[in-house]
Amino acid sequence: MNRFTTILLAAGISAATMGATYAADNIKIAFIDPLSGPFAATGKQGLAQYKFAAEELVNKKGGVLGGSKFEIVAFDNKISAKESLIQLKVAIDQGIRFIVQGNSSGVANALTDAIKKHNRRNPEDRVIFLNYSAVDPALTNDKCNFWHFRFDANADIKMDALTDIIKDNGNIKKVYLIGQDYSFGKAVAAAAVKFLGEKRPDIEIVGNELHPIGKVKDFTPYARKIIASGADAMITGNWGSDMVGLGKSVISAGFKNPIFTYYAATDGITKTFGEAGEGVVKLVGEGQLNPPVSDRADAYTKAFKAKNPDLDIGQPRITNVMEMLARAINDAGSATDMVKIGYALEGMEHDSLWGTKVKMRTVDHQAIQNVHILAHTKSGITHDYDNSGYGLKTESTVEMASADAPTTCKMDRPAQ
């Protein structure tokens, strides 16, 4: 009898401590993005947003699975594919099962490939890849796999929305396309040619070129060409320092026509464009900061700014990544069964903080959401970027953009 109670007691204690450690155990999320090098600014901002979103939207609300907290662990990949794979290994070795990455589709292609291989070879410690920014369409088409989820609208979806605006602008007769020489830049150019050809066959594409990513010292010769070509508008997918450099050169060379972009905001870009960009720079993207969609979104943005005075919410979708992951873990009832979490995440419908519905398409793991055309402006800005007084204001919205777009994705699904 005595012995029996001892055993019972021991079992009870160990169960209790196990439960306690389980609840206190943080769920680690590896953030693999550039924190040094030419694109460090973009990576740093993303990291701050993840930390803030995890704290505000998950941890302060009691975490997941009854008390587990999200913890963001940063890994600097120096925007190199090789370094990302090393960091991926380090992260997996540390027991991290969730990978978030976004900067550079080149890196995302390498990561999704490596994760697919890893999950096949090591079924006992699989990982999930939450891609929040790499928008090369191939990731949810030919290269798709079950472990990859994309939360941003891909390059095709964005270009579809962008060309809707260009379509109605009769002043635009000549367009110049310029981008970074890698999968994403090529995807933007291809999408632009395709959609412009469909919607405005009369527009002449007077230039279509790619420059090496992160290596151009001086964009002046490119700017000269653009002006000399007599283009009425310019389309670029450039981001990070390549966008700053290109924008600076083009404006100082005297370009005054519309510039249609994907990422011409924050990280010093908004400040660089400043007054010269008013009425000129248009962006296509998800997430609406101005005017604020709700008091909650307004308060969230203000709180972020109070904590990170030099940074901005440049990638609003990060809140969706955190909230949807938290929901998926709760739905699956486990933070370790990746198959269950994967199935919970696909097909999920979510009401975003930024006022849109987000639906993670089951067939290719592409998030479908409202896509906005945003204007770089000073008027009507509640939340500016770069502390410059300028910010992005929503001009028009495409509801649930490209919800029925076809995909070539053929996914191998693991047994449930």
Please tell me whether residue 109 binds other proteins under the rule CB under 8 A: yes
Instruction: Count residues binding other proteins (CB under 8 A).
Output: 59
SS3 (DSSP) at 152: coil
Among 94, 40, 45, which residue's Cα sits nearest to residue 71? 94
Considering the complex, what minimum distance in angstroms separates the CB of residue 121 from other proteins?
4
Please tell me whether residue 37 binds other proteins under the rule CB under 8 A: yes
Angle at 328 between CA 150 and CA 305, to 5 degrees: 65
Please tell me whether residue 67 binds other proteins under the rule CB under 8 A: no
Among 103, 147, 134, which residue's Cα sits nearest to residue 328? 147
Q: Give the sheet arrangement for strand 174-180, strand by strand.
A: 204-211, 174-180, 233-236, 259-261, 281-285, 371-377, 391-398
Please tell me whether residue 271 binds other proteins under the rule CB under 8 A: yes
Cα(315)–Cα(373) distance, rounded to whole angstroms? 15
Give the x/- contact pattern for other proteins in 326-365, rule: CB under 8 A. Answer: ----------------------------------------
Query: Using CB under 8 A, which of the segments 61-69, 159-167, 176-184, 290-298 binds other proteins?
Result: 176-184
Please tell me whether residue 204 binds other proteins under the rule CB under 8 A: no
Please tell me whether residue 101 binds other proteins under the rule CB under 8 A: no
- C-alpha 206: how far from chain center: 30
Q: Residue 402 region, left (φ>0) first, then alpha (ψ -120 to 50), else beta?
A: left
**From the list 132, 222, 260, 263, which residue makes contact with other proteins (rule: CB under 8 A)?**
222
Please tell me whether residue 190 binds other proteins under the rule CB under 8 A: no
Please tell me whether residue 140 binds other proteins under the rule CB under 8 A: no
- C-alpha 145: how far from chain center: 18
Which CB atom, from 256 or from 357, has the smaller least distance to other proteins?
256
| Pairing status of strand 281-285 against strand 174-180 | unpaired
Cα(135)–Cα(235) distance, rounded to whole angstroms? 16
Query: Using CB under 8 A, which of the segments 145-153, 164-172, 206-214, 373-381 binds other proteins?
Result: 206-214
**From the list 85, 259, 264, 324, which residue makes contact with other proteins (rule: CB under 8 A)?**
85
Cα(377)–Cα(383) distance, rounded to whole angstroms? 11
Beta strand ranges found along 56-97 (DSSP E):
70-76
**From the list 27, 30, 40, 162, which residue makes contact with other proteins (rule: CB under 8 A)?**
40
Applying CB under 8 A, the residues found at the interface with other proteins are: 35-38, 40-41, 44, 48, 51, 76, 80-83, 85-86, 89-90, 92-94, 106, 109-110, 113-114, 117, 121, 181-183, 207, 209, 211-213, 215, 217-218, 220-222, 224-225, 227-228, 241, 244-245, 252-254, 267-268, 271, 306-309
